[in-house]
Copies of this chain bind each other. A is one copy, B any other.
Amino acid sequence: MELLYTGKTKNVYRAEAYKVLLQFKDDVTGENGVFDPGANTVGLTIEGAGKSGLRMTKHFFELLNAKGIRTHYIRADVEQATMTVREAKVFGKGLEVICRYRAVGSFIRRYGAYCESGQPLDAFVEITIKDDERGDPTISADALHMLGILSPQEYDALTAQTKTICGIIKDELATKGLELYDIKLEFGRDAETGDIMLIDEISGGNMRVYKSGSYVAPLALEKAFLDENISH
């Protein structure tokens, strides 16, 4: 298959018309050998990290598809660490849509003068542009419109879909006593139909999850969430 793109944690291959294959790698983002989903550099390689992320991703995308949410997900092969998805065109050079239920991470670094660390937030949505060099800056609806990245209608649609999707993910995690603090999603337009759909992955690498007030790292999260699923 033709390699279309080499990402930090995934390679992308052409599968067939309007479909691509994502190969999940064991490389994870982080710094100084510590796994940090918020980092922009590949920090280390953890054996099994690719399959672990894919198992979570498969679980959540199948859940979302079953609920009628438009996503790029078609099927996953966990043994091969591959996922077949509908081809997407991203908005601009790529956006991340963040939904926050608690004030942690960059939110508290920016607005710590007005809130306490860990304070509940009401599904607060903000968008950042994917730009490693410029530190993934946040961007407003007005700026997205003015720079030709998103129309106001598309902004409203993304924001509404994000709240719906993240609410489903939050509720699903809560069934295992896990609390979603924040999560980042990516959206794109279906290359064939132009419809807006959820793309990328949904795993510990895209979210901060806590259990009884303690942070649960991505690989531990997959075990805590999916192993228990299997045992019941």
Which residues of A are interface residues toward B (Cβ below 8 A)? 92-93, 109-115, 121-122, 124-126, 129, 131, 133-134, 137-143, 146-149
Residue of B110, B140, B142 near A134 (CB, 8 A) is B110
Write out the residue numbers on chain B whose beta carbons fall within 8 Å of the beta carbon of A124: 142-143, 146
Write out the residue numbers on chain B whose beta carbons fall within 8 Å of the beta carbon of A141: 140
Residue of B110, B113, B142, B149 near A114 (CB, 8 A) is B149
Per DSSP, chain A at the interface is: mixed
* Copies of this chain assembled into the complex: 2
Cβ–Cβ contact B134 & A121, under 8 A: no
Residue of B111, B112, B147 near A139 (CB, 8 A) is B111
A-B contact pairs, 7 of them (CB 8 A): A92-B113, A93-B113, A109-B134, A110-B137, A113-B133, A114-B147, A140-B141
Chain B residue at smallest Cβ distance from A110? B137
Closest approach, in angstroms, between the C-beta of A189 and any C-beta of chain B? 17
Give Cα A126 to B139, complex, Å.
10
Write out the residue numbers on chain B whose beta carbons fall within 8 Å of the beta carbon of A146: 121-122, 124
Write out the residue numbers on chain B whose beta carbons fall within 8 Å of the beta carbon of A129: 111, 113-114
Give Cα A137 to B124, complex, Å.
17
Cβ–Cβ contact B143 & A126, under 8 A: yes
Write out the residue numbers on chain B whose beta carbons fall within 8 Å of the beta carbon of A149: 114
Write out the residue numbers on chain B whose beta carbons fall within 8 Å of the beta carbon of A125: 142
Closest approach, in angstroms, between the C-beta of A176 and any C-beta of chain B? 28
